[in-house]
A and B are shown apart, each in its own frame.
Chain A
């Protein structure tokens, strides 16, 4: 016997448990500090992509595929702590925006709303989640105790106006992927189950990460992501040492490290806020739109999503860098992440997709 037997009797299932959590569940962030975004070493493409998605959610999500142990999920969780807070209707399960009366949910419409400042939701969709929790379902507790048919919103509702993060997205069960695809396309979650018929807005930035060696992503889901980032382990020894040192320091003293990086985080947060304010004012010259189109034609990408995403990402980049106008330099930087996953699908070319984009840029834009 090794002593690791079946659960001891102490864990009999029927132990009384504490009462249900209060309605406004604290996010996982409240529990412990997360590694500061500004303290991430390298991974520029991933960091840029996440920041740009925060500047302009319309870019349409970020997919980070790559090696293990590169801090993909660290970066996403760090983003949650970085994002400037937003205004939301107090008590609304869908995080309604008080500034947009037209977009209020049914519950908020026609009643006086009170605005509060809340953190932008960054919601984890864990593997093993069941559909009822993702889409929302009948609230069992209220139904059991009071016979009330009430809807308990799911993760899609919580993620509205924020981010929905799926780690190991390539391992997500098919029926959940279908659900995500549908909602991501329509911006709305339609629930039709156990006598509940309801729809609520669900517009979120979908962020996925994973290791392609464990299974590929469905092509339809791949398409949904605005930006696709390849994450590689840094090969430079200095960078590697720095990653390990910072991570270790954080693990040993999370509060101290968080405090030490607080000024950098605040500066980055201000930059983000300023970029958002600037975004609409950034000039997108016709020549830039043409350049984007020419590049997409040269690459033979499907539809207009490529050009649209590329232009949007370039504009967000200009806003983030404080540039008044989108230039070729912005397009060049955003072309690989905006287009590499949209190339005509010879799926086997995935590894050289970046090279193809770069080659096309050389041809179209000149070296």
Chain B
């Protein structure tokens, strides 16, 4: 199979049929309308044949049923902030936007749960539950824009997942529409359900097992208090050794973020968060919980930082100062535009004790390929985010070198016992790389899950699994 396009209804015929099925105002189909659905937060693009804007589970079910009968790929899309091409209709078909299924259905305080539609924006949920002293823990950097449906699809993380877990640890119930239109309810408000953990199996499946139409999430009491500090180190080595020492001392901060000098400079120019510009590496550490023990823990962390030659340690004295320190971290990716017109955000994971060596490898790999790399990442989780910069105006060669650097870094992560992706997903960005991490039998087992949920293969095709057409080039390169 050289190309990925399968037979089935496409183009204006599909648009007209869907308009008839759902009503004209729920379907977009002109070239101008489709244009804005051809990209997400990653680098690849593809134009859908149609965009559907369902308003109910019944709409999604009818749509899926139609697509099943007419062999049309179906690709769910939240806010399009994803960083692995998860919302790109690489084989054409219908993109399903959840812009009109964006209601918080229930905030159930006694049960510590919320029931939401997939289009609800991550931060909006925590804002709505804050008056009850509760919040939704996963906080991806894109939380002002990204949707909970997208979070479920990608099993999103964020800086504060170190102590409290990622999306999968906070979802207890789902309503799904399978690719044949069947509506399935899984789990609920209890901590578990009988039988296989289908909720856990589904979260992080990137739209390839079906479409989420309703989500039940855990709400967590807001921490009583927090301590947030930044520490500046002469080099990244010292910063990463500090991370290992904090973890090894038995301290589990709610977040440990790291930033190198290049990233710091970009952030300071963009949001002036007050990060020291002369440091080789900066740590942003936050602890939270009951007020009583917090200052003891903070002092221990400060002592560890000083033992690793921290030049500056600054503790946020007010909520405003804390927000400013975090604004720098959360705005870091956006600030990279000041350094380079284009960049790849990588997302490898390594056991956290291997941080110093992997960061050295990242640096050497960048130098060897002649690309600049900035680092802003979740050090406490061992989840690195090298931002590999390139400029497409200088021709395709720079992009190629950025890609080669990426593969080198990810290969090293896997060889260190880690993973290709910690939170951004595989999508169509890394599906060709999956054989780096997984043996054929491992991928075959995942395929069994796919076949159980989506035997027709219409749910977000071309993602997660290596595709013979697009991945041939990579497998040739890997064999060389």
- A, B co-complexed: no
